[in-house]
Structure 1
Amino acid sequence: MTLVSLRGSWSLVLGVSGGMGAAIARALAAEGGNVIGVHFDRAAGREQAAKLADELRESGVEAHFLNLNIAAPSTREAVVAEIAERTGGAGVRVLVHSVAFGSLVPFLPAEGAAKAITDRQMAMTVDVMAHSLVYWVQDLHAAGLLPRGAKVYGLTSAGSVNVVPSYGAVSAAKSALESHVRQLAVELAPAGVAVNALRAGTTLTAALDKIPGSAEYAERCRERNPHGRLTETSDVGEAVVLLSSSDSSWITGNVIGVDGGELVVA
């Protein structure tokens, strides 16, 4: 396995405006990689994304962010055309799917609560957080923008195997995402493209804050992590750089833990 430089390469980060996506974009830029980012935010999120894009440009790389609905076919069409133009048809070295947009509603109404998840909320959560990865890969592959040596990452969590209150729909989405990663890995193997899921440990992000009881959950995870701390978004960015610094597609079809051993401790 020969290590290669990411300098001058292009990456597409879906969910770039905060959390894991922003940290991964920073890590790629620190290696000299250019970033095209997609996010779907209101005013505060748009401002945060704009500041990040400026930060990346100041480091000497190109950064082009679009505030569009990641799950919309029209977005994929526009972004694929943008990638083809900016990369001169060379395509992206790295595709990151870090999309946190789903319903945190219990399957059954809890005592004192009137609402349970609806079929529309369930379908939307799984479509945006899981199925959309497949559609992005389909469109990039069809356009010839996933060259040999490219890496595809879907961001998953321990919630795919553990039960967390109100996390049921997202858990289903993460499980589906991991299944999609395995299927894509097999189908893209002849093209020399690696596909993996990165299972980040518990990380203090805006997405975590939205989960009911997240503060108590995070503290329990901190106490049991053998490193004595929670995962940081920079840990995930570092993992993406490390795994992407090779043309080999032999590490593929996996769920790779980036959690300091959090999940293996009972």
Structure 2
Amino acid sequence: MSDVQGPAVGPQDLKGHNALILGASSGMGAACAQTLARQGMNIVGVHFDTATEQDRVDALTAELRSHGVEVTFHNVNAANKRARAEVVEELQGQLAERGVRVLLHSLAFGTLQPYIAEADEAINPRQVSMTADVMAHSLVYWTQALHSAELLRSGSKIFAMTSAGDQKVTASYGAVSAAKCALAAHARQLAVELAPAGIAVNLLRAGVTVTPSLERIPEHKALLATAEERNPHGRLTQPEDVAAWIAQLSQLDSSWLTGNVIGIDGGEALTS
């Protein structure tokens, strides 16, 4: 029997609810953590950083805690099966009362190499598989684990970050583009299968945004210049633009907005 009720009445207060952010230490993930913490949400972050990045991560967690919320960060590989199981097992005890209201999949680790090049420069099968596993398939595995642990409830929202790269071609983006296409297929399937439980699943297509992951793309300077010139707002998308809409959408108990690719780009796609 479906858990879905009739239309929700007005936005809900996010204070005391829990957000799980995959890729929480920088870029979209960090901005989302900051915005949701200001709304009173407890933050569980999963990130994968070296010791040289620890001071930056410590500063972020201190900032989040300054809003009076509970903050737990796990420095593990989000695509690793054992790490995922250990985090979810801990969350079963930590978040059992209210579950996970928001799951944000913002993992942006993949190989940026062309398909056709000299043998030592072309992408190889291991790199293609790793890129798809981290940036696409892991959404399915985390959702399965959280659902099995009964941490996803009616009103929960699952968001995954995509990009215009799922339709457009740049020289080094092939494996990431393929992963984004797979991510879209996964999100549609999860949206349909989780609809009876009142859980919404949507992709967010941000405009071109200055993030560490974008700066790893060899062609990123040209992408930035073109996007800023063509965006109707006359500026680039910022991580905070995306985080603000995640917060807005997360306030609604309704799961009627599901299975979509939502453009948060200031109209960039209309003029590109």
What TM-score, normalized to structure 2? Answer: 0.95
Asked if the contact 1:29/1:61 (under 8 Å) is kept, the reply is yes
Partner in structure 2 of residue 41 of structure 1: 49
Partner in structure 1 of residue 154 of structure 2: 148
1:13 correspondence with 2:36: no
**1:79: how far off?**
1.2
Asked if the contact 1:83/1:89 (under 8 Å) is kept, the reply is no
Amino acid at match of 1:121: Q
- Which of 52, 56, 61 is 2:60 aligned to? 52
SS at match of 1:151: strand
Whole-angstrom CA distance in 2 between matches of 1:242 and 1:162? 29
Amino acid at match of 1:130: A
Whole-angstrom CA distance in 1 between matches of 2:146 and 2:97? 11
**1:78: how far off?**
1.2
Amino acid at match of 2:194: L
Partner in structure 2 of residue 118 of structure 1: 124
**Identity across the alignment (%):** 53
Whole-angstrom CA distance in 2 between matches of 1:106 and 1:98? 23
SS at match of 2:155: coil
Partner in structure 2 of residue 162 of structure 1: 168
SS at match of 1:16: coil
What TM-score, normalized to structure 1? Answer: 0.97
Partner in structure 1 of residue 261 of structure 2: 255
**1:89: how far off?**
4.2
Whole-angstrom CA distance in 2 between matches of 1:196 and 1:121? 27
Structure 1 consecutive aligned stretches of length 4 or more whose deviation exceeds 4 Å: none
Whole-angstrom CA distance in 2 between matches of 1:247 and 1:138? 21
- Which of 58, 61, 72 is 2:69 aligned to? 61
Asked if the contact 1:16/1:49 (under 8 Å) is kept, the reply is no
| Cα offsets for 1:65-85 (capped at 9, x unmatched) | 010010011111111122112
Amino acid at match of 1:208: L
1:213 correspondence with 2:219: yes
Whole-angstrom CA distance in 1 between matches of 2:133 and 2:41? 29
Amino acid at match of 1:122: V
Whole-angstrom CA distance in 2 between matches of 1:190 and 1:80? 23
Whole-angstrom CA distance in 2 between matches of 1:69 and 1:78? 11
Whole-angstrom CA distance in 2 between matches of 1:142 and 1:88? 13
**1:46: how far off?**
2.9
Higher alpha-carbon deviation: 49-58 or 63-72: 49-58
SS at match of 1:108: coil
Higher alpha-carbon deviation: 85-94 or 14-23: 85-94
Asked if the contact 2:17/2:98 (under 8 Å) is kept, the reply is no
- Which of 243, 253, 256 is 2:249 aligned to? 243
Asked if the contact 1:17/1:46 (under 8 Å) is kept, the reply is no
Partner in structure 2 of residue 29 of structure 1: 37
Amino acid at match of 1:238: A
Asked if the contact 1:9/1:93 (under 8 Å) is kept, the reply is yes
**1:47: how far off?**
2.5
- Which of 192, 199, 214 is 2:198 aligned to? 192
Amino acid at match of 1:65: F
**1:151: how far off?**
0.2
| Cα offsets for 1:92-145 (capped at 9, x unmatched) | 0000000011000000116xx841000000000001100000000000001100
Structure 1 unaligned spans of 5+ = none
Whole-angstrom CA distance in 2 between matches of 1:46 and 1:172? 32
SS at match of 1:122: helix
Whole-angstrom CA distance in 1 between matches of 2:91 and 2:20? 8
Asked if the contact 2:110/2:130 (under 8 Å) is kept, the reply is yes
